[in-house]
Amino acid sequence: MDTEDGNETLYIQNLNEKIKSQGKTHIEMKGFLYQLFSHYGTVLDVINQSQYRMRGQAFVIFDTKQEAENAMRLLQGYYFYGKSMKLSYAQHKSDIIAKRDGVYIERPSSYSTEKRLEFFNRLKLKNSIKHRSDLGTTNGTFGSNNILFLERLEGSVSEAFLGNIFGLYPGFKEVRLVSEKGVAFVEYYDNEEAAKALIGLNGFKVSPTCQLFITYAKRG
DNA sequence: AGCACA
């Protein structure tokens, strides 16, 4: 979803998993791939893991999409250590590229399903912010309160999770969840920032069955 | 078949 027109990174399948040699094959393979692909551009890294799920596959990260495109065209089906390589673009940007482009989002180290969901939602959110920013969003005229009121929250929505989402909007101060009631208060440092978060996040799906319903908190 | 990055 984050790459419509190619990718700096190529995803390689059908690599020979057992090259006859002394060392660990995936480490050797990394070097072989590096050498081969370097003929077609600057290779920033080769990722080639040994776990079962990743066997026979690798990622070759080029500096530019053009280089990757070129390499893919010229090496598609290339016979390499007895097997023909299958090349395609990686589905996602590689971390090094994302960092270079200032678009990297910290990846959780332990991959519990909750963390995964959180990470995924952050990505979706990033996209929606990008799209909405074209619409001109707010101009301060409707910053009626610096505290937002969320209701109809599911029990599975945690305070930390809300913090992650609303924290992506500048000016975020804190979130207070009243989980028994399924409501929360999200506070920003000023009205305008709160308004932007409201506009950007109202209706945002936090789970398949729950979307954010946001209004301004009543003034106390 | 299988899309990772510490």
| Nucleotide showing the shortest C1' distance to residue A95 CA | B5
pLDDT classification of A50: cutoffs 50, 70, 90: confident
Would residue A45 count as lying in a domain? yes
For residues A98 and A167, state if they share a domain: no
Would residue A125 count as lying in a domain? no
Would residue A134 count as lying in a domain? no
For residues A10 and A110, state if they share a domain: yes
Domain count across chain A: 2
| Nucleotide showing the shortest C1' distance to residue A90 CA | B3
Instruction: Give me the amino acid identity at A200.
Output: G
Would residue A133 count as lying in a domain? no
User: How high is the mean pLDDT of chain A?
Assistant: 84
For residues A21 and A91, state if they share a domain: yes
More confident residue, A49 or A138: A49
Average pLDDT over residues A36-46: 96
Chain A 156-185 residues in 7 Å CB range of strand B: none
| Helix runs in A39-80, H state only | 65-75
Question: Under a CB-based contact definition with an 8 Å cutoff, are residues A215 and A199 in contact?
Answer: no
Residue with CA nearest to B6's C1' atom: A109
Could you read off the pLDDT of A4-19 as tens digits, one per residue?
689 999 999 999 987 6
Whole-number distance in Å between A139 CA and B3 C1': 41
Average pLDDT over residues A141-152: 82
For residues A59 and A147, state if they share a domain: no
Could you read off the pLDDT of A102-138 as tens digits, one per residue?
999 887 655 554 555 555 555 555 555 554 443 333 3
Q: What is the pLDDT of residue A144?
A: 81
Q: Which helix (H) or strand (E) holds A83?
A: strand A83-84
Q: What is the pLDDT of residue A59?
A: 97
More confident residue, A175 or A207: A175
For residues A24 and A100, state if they share a domain: yes
DSSP A20: S
For residues A113 and A143, state if they share a domain: no
pTM over 0.95: no
Residue A34 pLDDT more than 60? yes
Bases of chain B with protein Cβ within 7 A: 1-6
For residues A107 and A9, state if they share a domain: yes
Question: Under a CB-based contact definition with an 8 Å cutoff, are residues A58 and A47 in contact?
Answer: yes
Instruction: Give me the amino acid identity at A7.
Output: N
CATH number at A195 reads: 3.30.70.330
Would residue A132 count as lying in a domain? no
| Nucleotide showing the shortest C1' distance to residue A60 CA | B4
Pick from A117, A152, A169: which residue ends a domain?
Answer: A117
Q: What is the pLDDT of residue A149?
A: 96
> Domain containing A39: what range?
3-117
In chain A, the N- to C-terminal Cα span, in Å, equals 43
Strand B atom within 7 Å of A55 CB: yes
Strand B atom within 7 Å of A30 CB: no
Q: Which helix (H) or strand (E) holds A29?
A: helix A25-38
Whole-number distance in Å between A93 CA and B5 C1': 10
Q: What is the pLDDT of residue A25?
A: 67
Would residue A131 count as lying in a domain? no
Whole-number distance in Å between A148 CA and B3 C1': 38
Would residue A129 count as lying in a domain? no
Whole-number distance in Å between A151 CA and B6 C1': 37
Q: What is the pLDDT of residue A139?
A: 37
For residues A105 and A14, state if they share a domain: yes
Residue matched to tokens 């999409």 = A65
For residues A73 and A10, state if they share a domain: yes
Would residue A167 count as lying in a domain? yes
For residues A112 and A170, state if they share a domain: no
Whole-number distance in Å between A219 CA and B6 C1': 46
Residue A141 pLDDT more than 50? no
Residue A220 pLDDT more than 80? no
Q: What is the pLDDT of residue A163?
A: 93
Enter the tokens of residue A174.
């804190």
For residues A66 and A9, state if they share a domain: yes
Order of strands across the sheet that contains A58-62: A43-47, A58-62, A9-13, A86-89
Pick from A117, A152, A178: which residue ends a domain?
Answer: A117
Enter the tokens of residue A23.
């060392």
Residue A24 pLDDT more than 50? yes
For residues A92 and A143, state if they share a domain: no
pLDDT classification of A219: cutoffs 50, 70, 90: confident
Q: Phi-psi region for residue A159, left (φ > 0), alpha (ψ -120 to 50) or beta?
A: alpha
Average pLDDT over residues A165-180: 91
